[in-house]
């Protein structure tokens, strides 16, 4: 029997899971976790986690790895990751292949979550899918005409960096201004409220710098500023989603990340903005807008799918 | 010997051309044109043009057709076209296949121009290409990871309808507000100048409603308003192109259409806006920004490529 090994190398833990080739269910045969470590043991922790699930009686066709941060999907070289400081220009694919003597493929975490939701989650059966995770930042992965969108150097699919406030927009996590992430992420929502409070807006909020979750709670208690902050984010998200509909004509949008726990606070504004921006009802007719089905295992299922696609 | 027939069904003329299968040059074996007619003879003109190039001694593998207007690339049903009024919900693919008894494929003109430039023009050798034509409107076609981007219902690739002025933007050709086309097309440039003149701005322009070409001429004579109008369009184009770089990570942008004859007036502002919006130099390093190589035969070469891809 053959098997694949999937790895989600996250910022806090590394998970490795063993899947039987051809299996359709999402439960692995074996799964192990270890806390992620930075310099100098990150790769050692990764190999230990993989060894812990390595099968005795099956042939491993290949290893798929989801990694936070930009990377080249062809060479498998990681540009950098936020929490693993010695993975800078790190040839992860080559290192794994040398160590385990099986082929390996790597993908960034948002792309892998999109792939996971497509193959095993909320997007099964669709061929044009956009996955967006809205939390501290905004990440995304795109399945277009049945393939993961990668681009020339594997850097495609960054919907969080669509410019939405062209003049003097807020600073984005990337260092440029007015991107969707700077306005509609949890960070963006919190910044807007903090600015409004500093400008003397009255609010039920007592902290000077509330976070998105606290703003959500205040909104549900009727706080006008907090309600407005989420609606504002929804409007910007909706406009950018309309851009995405025109660009990709998807049949499904999957919205994940912590901010979507407050979907009740921004979905109406989001839908209104989509409707007021979209050039034809053909783009929204039959469009599914939904939530992820896989929770925090989307990246792991994506890494599994990547291995299946790459080494079938 | 085998052959393909390519057709560009434009608003003013229909061109049909015969290409030998496997040929790499852009010169057809035979080409014919007829003026486009609307009701009720549009399809008759199309078939006559194709019959005029039909070979006596070669087998036709298939017909590819470029059509202005939205269509379903799978069913080959045209939703509508601006200048051919009886092609509304028109099953062009099926009609052609019945009439000629060979397979047919249809694509919209911007997608076909992208395909043509990719296979036979300025984009040869690239796998991630964005083609944008800036004239009265803004059309586009996208090659992503070596395939024409189509989307769920074939409506993908509409970069002209990215929202760039979110609040109270100008009316777009599509009926919605603030899209790139409404701001940076020839029509958008002319509207901006017309509005500024109506507001009392001084200018060398003597007409109350100059067109984009006249504004370009005035700009070259030093007219400040006209210079500003093109720079403004360049800034909006550059921001949207940065969005496209983040979304598609292409290796080449091909900019066509009448407005690019005034590239000298807006390219500097366009490049500055790209640089100020892009999240990493990795998106622009090695990026080619260039003009089409095929002129008005891009659509025809694209229809040929579509036939080659579909019926090889």
> Taking CB atoms and an 8 Å cutoff, what residues of chain B touch A280?
70, 155, 174
Q: Residue B153: which of A144, A156, A249 has the nearest Cβ?
A: A249
* H-assigned helices in B179-297: 180-184, 186-198, 212-220, 224-248, 263-277
Helix or strand (DSSP H, E) at A306: helix A298-310
Beginning with the edge strand found earlier in the chain, give each strand of the sheet holding B138-144 in spatial order: B147-148, B138-144, B129-134, B252-256, B288-290
- Residue % of chain A over a pLDDT of 90: 90
Mean pLDDT calculated for residue range B66-81 = 92
Helix%, strand%, coil% for chain A, nearest 5: 40, 20, 35
| C-beta separation of A152 from B249 below 8 A | yes
- The fold of the B2-116+296-310 domain, in CATH, is Nucleotidyltransferase; domain 5 (3.30.420)
Among chain B residues, the shortest Cα distance to A167 is held by B165
CA-atom Rg of chain B in angstroms: 20
Give the Cα-Cα-Cα angle A110, A143, B143 (nearest 5 degrees).
115
| Cβ contact B128–A162 (<8 Å) | no
Going through chain B in order, the beta strands assigned E by DSSP cover: 2-9, 13-20, 30-35, 59-67, 71-72, 77-78, 90-91, 104-108, 129-134, 138-144, 147-148, 252-256, 288-290
Q: Residue A156: which of B152, B236, B249 has the nearest Cβ?
A: B249
Among chain B residues, the shortest Cα distance to A236 is held by B166
Residue in A163, A172, A273 to test binding to B, most B beta-carbons within 10 Å: A163
Q: Position of tokens 């509909």?
A: A245
Class of the domain covering A124-292: alpha beta
| Cβ contact A166–B236 (<8 Å) | yes
Residues paired with B16 in a beta bridge: B7, B32
| Cβ contact B149–A144 (<8 Å) | yes
Among chain A residues, the shortest Cα distance to B181 is held by A279
Mean pLDDT calculated for residue range B22-35 = 94
Q: Residue B145: which of A79, A149, A236 has the nearest Cβ?
A: A149
Beginning with the edge strand found earlier in the chain, give each strand of the sheet holding A288-290 in spatial order: A147-148, A138-144, A129-134, A252-256, A288-290
Q: What is the model's pLDDT at position B14?
A: 94
The string of pLDDT tens digits covering residues A65-87 is 999 988 999 999 999 887 788 88
Q: In Å, how far is B20's CA from the nearest CA of chain A?
A: 30
Q: In Å, how far is A74's CA from the nearest CA of chain B?
A: 12
Q: In Å, how far is A48's CA from the nearest CA of chain B?
A: 33
| Cβ contact B158–A276 (<8 Å) | no
Among chain B residues, the shortest Cα distance to A151 is held by B249
Q: Tokens representing B51?
A: 């019959």
Is a pLDDT exceeding 70 seen at residue A179? yes
What are phi and psi for residue A133, nearest 5 degrees? Answer: -115, 125
ipTM for the whole complex: 0.92
**DSSP 8-class letter at B86:** T
Residues of chain A with CATH 3.30.420.40: 2-116+296-310, 124-292
pTM over 0.90: yes
> Taking CB atoms and an 8 Å cutoff, what residues of chain A touch B242?
161, 163
Q: In Å, how far is A131's CA from the nearest CA of chain B?
A: 13
Q: Tokens representing B206?
A: 């003597």
Q: What is the model's pLDDT at position A239?
A: 96
- Residue % of chain A over a pLDDT of 70: 99
Q: Share the mean pLDDT of chain A.
A: 95
């Amino acid at each position: 029997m053959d098997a694949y090994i999937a790895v989600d190398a996250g910022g806090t833990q590394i998970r490795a899971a063993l899947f039987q080739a051809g299996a359709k269910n999402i439960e692995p045969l074996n799964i192990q976790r270890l806390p992620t470590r930075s310099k100098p043991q990150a790769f050692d922790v990764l190999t230990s986690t993989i060894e812990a699930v390595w099968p005795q009686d099956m042939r491993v066709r290949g290893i798929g790895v989801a990694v936070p941060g930009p990377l080249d999907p062809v060479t498998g070289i990681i540009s950098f990751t936020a929490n693993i400081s010695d993975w800078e220009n790190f040839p992860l694919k080559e290192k794994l292949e040398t160590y385990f003597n099986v082929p390996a493929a790597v993908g960034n975490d948002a792309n892998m979550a999109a792939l996971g939701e497509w193959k095993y989650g909320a997007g099964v059966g669709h061929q044009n899918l956009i996955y967006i995770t809205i939390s501290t930042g905004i990440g995304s992965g795109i399945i277009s005409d049945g393939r993961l969108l990668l681009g020339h150097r594997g850097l495609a699919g960054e919907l969080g960096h669509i410019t939405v406030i062209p003049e003097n927009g807020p600073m984005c996590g990337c260092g440029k201004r007015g991107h969707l992430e700077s306005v509609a992420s949890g960070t963006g929502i919190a910044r807007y409220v903090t600015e409004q409070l500093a400008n003397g807006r009255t609010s039920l909020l007592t902290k000077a710098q509330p976070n998105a979750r606290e703003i959500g709670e205040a909104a549900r208690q009727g706080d006008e500023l907090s309600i407005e902050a989420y609606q504002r984010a929804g409007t910007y998200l909706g406009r950018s989603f309309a851009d995405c509909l025109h660009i990709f004509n998807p049949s499904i949008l999957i919205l994940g990340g912590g901010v979507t726990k407050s979907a009740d606070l921004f979905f109406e504004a989001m839908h209104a903005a989509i409707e007021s921006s979209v050039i034809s009802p053909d783009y929204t007719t039959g469009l599914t807008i939904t939530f992820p089905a896989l929770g925090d295992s989307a990246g792991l299922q994506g890494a599994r799918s990547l291995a299946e696609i790459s080494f079938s």
